[in-house]
Structure 1
Amino acid sequence: MPSSAASRSPATASPPDFPGDTMKRKLRITASLAMLATATVAAAQDWPSRATTVINPFSAGTTTDTVARVVAEGLQKKFDTPFIVDSRPGAGGMIGTTLVARAHPDGSTFGVSIAGPLVHNPLLYKRMAYDPAKDLTPLTLGVHQPCLLIASRELGVKTLPELIDVLKKNPGKYNYSYVGNGSLGHLVMTLLANKSGTQIVPVMYAGAVQATTAVMTNEVQMGCLPAQATMAQVRGDKVVPIAVSTAERAALLPEVPALREFYPDIVGSAWMGFVAPGGMPAALAGRISAAIGEVLRQPQVVELLRQQLMEPAPGTPAQFKAFMQEELARWKPVIVDNKITAE
């Protein structure tokens, strides 16, 4: 009986490996990697080489639309290349953000989004069309904006201690308006009730304007709502500003305290950030991030956004990624412990 070695087909036998052959293969691989790296850097330096789409996952006229258009206009002036804002609203921002995730990571598409689609929603939904951590490339944080805790004038309170006192004396009697389960206003009010030992009944509305109107008409007695939706009523003395949700007081409302002045653990920003499709080369992501940051730091842009209670906060892709991880750590216990879901 022939041995297994003798029966082996010459076609399947592996040729001997000589030291010189191994070295040549290593050199070829190294050269290929170097060429790929050079091509990637060159592609980043060439951006933008054609029209670029900036996806806004909410309706025209919203705060995300404002930020997207400010950035798109600034980039178009800088590069003399079209930057087109495409509003794709629906599902609390997830439709537009999904389109970003599914685009080609060549720099021709990126988008603006908010905490829900980027951080909170994996905790709220059983299934999503994309994984924010895998299918999106962080570019830069865009702006911070406070939620403004407002109260109905008929409630008769002017300060947070007065509001908490009324709530403690009347557990479960009063309502607050919010927009969407897991929204910042919903989470802040949930945390406020937890920290203050009060019971407040949540009432969801279709949009921030409706939620603000409900407070103004005393349909509900309070709400922590986007500043852009509430400022007209605050300035018109139609609602009472109680506190802002951000770490610091708002420049346009210096007399209104931050919630953290009373409850240090309650800090929340209605932030917006820019993301690109997953798998984007780091060099390209860095170039786009730097260009967006340059626009957001322009004095006229800073002033324009501050007039709408938005504070520009651009940074690097790595900083934005770390920030979103911090946000997840901040809000996950609130969502999980209070059994908040999207349904």
Structure 2
Amino acid sequence: MTRTTFRRPWLAALAVLALAGSTGSGGAEPAAVTWPPKTVRIIVPFAAGSTPDLVGRVLADQLHVRHPGSTFVIENKPGASGNIGTDAVAKASPDGATLGISIPGPLAINTLLFPKLPYDPARDLAPVTLLTRMPSVLAVPTNSGVGSVAEFVARAKADANGLAYASIGAGSLSQLCMEAIARKAGSRMVHIPYAGSPNAVTALIRGDVQAACLPAISVAPQQAAGSVKILAVTTPERSPFLADVPTLKESGIDVQSDAWNALVAPGGTSDALIAAINHEVAAALADPAVIAKLKAQMMLPEPSTPEALRQKITDEKRTWADVIREAGIEIR
């Protein structure tokens, strides 16, 4: 476990957010909700240096700027496709002192991949807000001679043995996206998992694999260097970071895959406390310095209501259930 503490040399009063409301006609005013407490743990269920880790550290730093009297501690608890760290959030006290950064896997996709999880996302976790969104891209080696999605589909259909593609792990969004593309293209592809985006990109450059669907930030520098060709983005609309690159849907393959990060709290956290945290996080994400840091990683802030995050989780399960079942993907 890696612990990183964000501090500033000055002190200020702890911010108090009073949520107005009514308990009914003649009812007493609800007690004021105070957040953050003196120390807040933000658990990241992936290793230091991962995208969720980066988002967590940017958020922790800005929350401390807003509340210098509080300490925000990043705790990395990687393992089991994010399940270990997410379980730690689920089992924490619902008092606002422990939060978790997460992605589609631990909140939605893993419920379809693992026979059993140590937590129930719907019962044991409380959605707070979406945090960021970033594009993934379908990429091929430049020397493959493939210049468009249509050419890639034709190549895939013509290969009786199945084109090999890289992913960042079994059950990862990068694997699911490629399997969805294969289904839409009416072709068969061979999955080669790697330990993270850097290794997958290296395999792509060397020609060990013929394609990959990876976070744009890991591929864009290689396209600039001329070793990789980006064919399409996986987001519903074109990315402002790759404005000249079409979407998969524009290119005739109706596959959409959002790479997002979100903030969750332990199940049982009160609605009032969730609202207070949501308010503070949205304000942090709106800071120009935070926006600039995220854009440097090809991410955009995307705060939401807790209800919108809950719906996003439901949508992810609906999107990938058939792909996982038909591809026979399971993690034991």
Picking from 246, 259, 273, the partner of 1:284 is 273
Other-structure match for 2:64: 76
**Alpha-carbon distance in 2 for matches of 1:261, 1:197:** 18
RMSD value over aligned CA atoms? 1.8
Question: Taking structure 1 as reference, are residues 312 and 263 closer, same or farther at Cα in structure 2, changes over 3 Å only?
Answer: farther
Question: Taking structure 1 as reference, are residues 83 and 147 closer, same or farther at Cα in structure 2, changes over 3 Å only?
Answer: same
**Alpha-carbon distance in 2 for matches of 1:173, 1:220:** 11
Question: 3-state DSSP class of the match of 1:256?
Answer: coil
Other-structure match for 1:141: 130
Picking from 286, 289, 293, the partner of 1:297 is 286
Other-structure match for 1:49: 37
Report how many residues are paired: 307
Q: What one-letter code is carried by the residue in structure 1 that aligns with 2:246?
A: P
Q: What pairs with 1:57-76 in structure 2 (closer than 5 Å)?
A: 57-76=45-64
Question: 3-state DSSP class of the match of 1:230?
Answer: helix
Question: Once the 2 structures are TM-superposed, how far is the Cα of residue 271 of structure 1 from its aligned partner?
Answer: 0.8
Query: Is 1:154 aligned to residue 130 of structure 2?
Result: no
Q: What pairs with 1:127-276 in structure 2 (closer than 5 Å)?
A: 127-263=116-252, 265-276=254-265
Question: Taking structure 1 as reference, are residues 322 and 226 closer, same or farther at Cα in structure 2, changes over 3 Å only?
Answer: same
Gaps in structure 2 of 5+ consecutive residues = 1-22
**Higher helix proportion, which one?**
1
Q: What one-letter code is carried by the residue in structure 2 that aligns with 1:291?
A: E
Question: Taking structure 1 as reference, are residues 264 and 192 closer, same or farther at Cα in structure 2, changes over 3 Å only?
Answer: closer
Other-structure match for 2:330: 341
Question: Once the 2 structures are TM-superposed, how far is the Cα of residue 173 of structure 1 from its aligned partner?
Answer: 4.1
TM-score under structure 2 normalisation? 0.88
Deviates more, 1:233-242 or 1:95-104: 233-242
**Alpha-carbon distance in 2 for matches of 1:334, 1:174:** 18
TM-score under structure 1 normalisation? 0.85
**Alpha-carbon distance in 1 for matches of 2:214, 2:245:** 15
Question: 3-state DSSP class of the match of 1:110?
Answer: strand
Query: Is the 2:37–2:96 contact (alpha carbons within 8 Å) kept by the matching residues of 1?
Result: no
Question: 3-state DSSP class of the match of 2:242?
Answer: coil
**Alpha-carbon distance in 1 for matches of 2:298, 2:35:** 32
Other-structure match for 1:96: 85
Runs of 4+ more than 6 Å apart: none
Question: Once the 2 structures are TM-superposed, how far is the Cα of residue 295 of structure 1 from its aligned partner?
Answer: 1.1
Question: 3-state DSSP class of the match of 1:260?
Answer: coil
Other-structure match for 2:19: none
**Alpha-carbon distance in 2 for matches of 1:46, 1:261:** 47
Aligned-pair identity in percent equals: 38
Query: Is the 1:113–1:274 contact (alpha carbons within 8 Å) kept by the matching residues of 2?
Result: yes
Q: Deviations over 1:99-130 (max 9, x none)?
A: 11111000001010111100011111011110
Other-structure match for 1:23: none
Question: 3-state DSSP class of the match of 1:89?
Answer: coil
**Alpha-carbon distance in 2 for matches of 1:125, 1:147:** 24
Question: Once the 2 structures are TM-superposed, how far is the Cα of residue 244 of structure 1 from its aligned partner?
Answer: 1.0
**Alpha-carbon distance in 2 for matches of 1:57, 1:232:** 27
**Alpha-carbon distance in 2 for matches of 1:191, 1:252:** 24
Question: Once the 2 structures are TM-superposed, how far is the Cα of residue 249 of structure 1 from its aligned partner?
Answer: 1.6
Question: Taking structure 1 as reference, are residues 300 and 264 closer, same or farther at Cα in structure 2, changes over 3 Å only?
Answer: farther
Deviates more, 1:133-142 or 1:159-168: 159-168
**Alpha-carbon distance in 1 for matches of 2:78, 2:195:** 13
**Alpha-carbon distance in 2 for matches of 1:82, 1:60:** 19
Question: Once the 2 structures are TM-superposed, how far is the Cα of residue 265 of structure 1 from its aligned partner?
Answer: 3.2
Other-structure match for 1:12: none
Question: Once the 2 structures are TM-superposed, how far is the Cα of residue 262 of structure 1 from its aligned partner?
Answer: 2.5
**Alpha-carbon distance in 1 for matches of 2:82, 2:219:** 21
Question: Once the 2 structures are TM-superposed, how far is the Cα of residue 312 of structure 1 from its aligned partner?
Answer: 1.3
Question: Once the 2 structures are TM-superposed, how far is the Cα of residue 307 of structure 1 from its aligned partner?
Answer: 2.4
